[in-house]
Structure 1
C-alpha cells in the first residue's frame, strides 16, 4: 500500500478497543475455582506482556515503558507506552506527528454458581497517532485468545493535511472493521456491524457459530454425560453467549 503524502502536523488518533469473552461450563464450586485458577495462570501478566510486545512489533512501534501487575484473587493488567516516530526533516519543512501512544490489556475471570458458567473477559485498548493503524493486528489478537464473543470499537479523531493543505479526517480506507479480519476467521463467527461513518466510528461484534461441547467442559468428558444433560449445557452456553453478544438480558431476569 502506498503511503499517503502528508504535510505539517499530523494529529490523527486511532483508537481500537477490543473485548474478548471465553465461556466455560464448570458445574461444581471446585471446578469453578480450578477454571479461574487455570485461566489466571494461562493469561498472567507475563504472557499478556508477550502478546502486547508482539503487537507493538507488528505495527512498527517502539516500546518505551512496560507496567504490569497480577492481582489477587485473579486478573492481570499490562500497560505499554510506545513511540511511533519523531520530527522528520524534509527540506526546509519539519514533518511531525504525536509520537507517544499506548497499548493496555486487562483480564476479568469470573464465575456464577447458579448457572455453573465461568466467563473470562479480556479488554485490550490500542491508541496510535499518525500513520499507524492498529487494525492490522486483529487476526493476531483473535488467535491469541479463546474467543467466543468479540466486540471491537475503532475510532479515528483529529485531522492531518495533504501536501496541498486539504484537511484529512481519515488517512486510510475503511468501510468496516471486518475488512481487516481474514475471511477464514470471519467464517467461524456470526458478525454484526454498527458504524457511524460521518464520525469515523466503527463497531463490530462477533459470536462463534459452532459449539464443540467438549471444548467448554472443564475436567469433564462429554461422553460421561447423558444426552439430556448435554443438551441442557449446550442451551445454557448458547444463551449466555447470545446475551453477551446482544448486550442485554434476553433469557434471565
Structure 2
C-alpha cells in the first residue's frame, strides 16, 4: 500500500525522522523423534541461511528505495544466522565524508537474526526470525511489509512500528511524523489481512503502532515434521 505523506513539506535541513519497523515471526511444528527435531533444525538452517537472508534484505532495500552501502552476514554453529545491512536514502549520501556517513547510518539499517530451536522432550520445534528495518528521511520501511510477511510465511507475527525524532518546516514548526497512519494493518494487502487474525495496540500520541497476527487456518499436517496426521494416535492428535 502507498505511504501517504501528510503533504509535501519544505523542510529546514534534513528530514530527521527515524522510522523503524520490527517484525518478529514464528514458525511452529511438532517433531516427535530426536532425529526429526534435528532434521527440522537443519532444514531451517538451510532454508534461511545467511546468503538467502541477504537476498531478502537486498529486496527490502530495493522496495523501500534505499541504497545499500554495506552488508555483513554470518552463519552460526550449531544453528542460526544474522545479516546486517547499512543503507542510505539515496546514493548521494555515500559521497559524503566518512564522519557524515557514520552519523547518518546509525539510523538507517536493516537486520535479521534467526533462532531455530526445539524442545528436548516435548517435540515442539520453533523458528523465530527478528527483522528490523530502520530508515531516516522520506523512505519508509512499511513499503516492504507485505514482502516480508510473504518471505517468511509466518504462523505468528508481531509487528512494531515507531516514528522517532522530529523535523522542521521552513517556519521552524516541528513535525513528529510525515505520513498518515492509524494502524500497521493499513499497509497489509487485502489478501494478507484475510489470512490472519489481527489485533492492534497503538499509542497514537507517541507514534507507536503494534499489531499481533495469528494465522487463521489450522491444518495439523502443516505442523508435523517427518510424519503425517494419520500416523498420530487419537491421544497424540488431541495433545498436539
Query: What TM-score comes out, normalization by structure 2 length?
Result: 0.88
Match of 1:71 in 2: 76
Choose from 24, 28, 52 the match for 1:23: 28
Match of 1:205 in 2: 212
CA distance in 2, matches of 1:45, 1:6: 40
Q: Aligned-pair distance for 1:5?
A: 2.4
Q: Aligned-pair distance for 1:231?
A: 2.6
Match of 2:66 in 1: 61
SS in 2 for 1:80: strand
Listed as ranges, the gaps of 5+ residues in structure 1 are 88-97, 234-253
- Asked whether the equivalents of residues 20 and 148 of structure 1 are also in contact (C-alpha less than 8 Å), the reply is yes
- Asked whether the equivalents of residues 191 and 206 of structure 1 are also in contact (C-alpha less than 8 Å), the reply is yes
Q: Does 1:38 align with 2:28?
A: no
Match of 1:6 in 2: 10
Q: CA offsets per residue over residues 152-179 of structure 1, 9 Å max, x none?
A: 1111011112344322111000001101
SS in 2 for 1:195: coil
Higher relative contact order (CA 8 A, sep 6+): 2
Match of 2:120 in 1: 113
Greater strand proportion: 1
Q: Does 1:81 align with 2:117?
A: no
Listed as ranges, the gaps of 5+ residues in structure 2 are 94-102
CA distance in 1, matches of 2:210, 2:46: 31
* RMSD after superposition: 1.6
Aligned length: 223
Stretch of structure 1 that moved more, 150-159 or 222-231 = 222-231
Match of 1:134 in 2: 141
Q: CA offsets per residue over residues 190-222 of structure 1, 9 Å max, x none?
A: 111111111111111111111111111112122
CA distance in 1, matches of 2:172, 2:8: 13
Q: Does 1:186 align with 2:190?
A: no
Query: What TM-score comes out, normalization by structure 1 length?
Result: 0.84
- Asked whether the equivalents of residues 192 and 206 of structure 1 are also in contact (C-alpha less than 8 Å), the reply is yes
Match of 2:110 in 1: 103
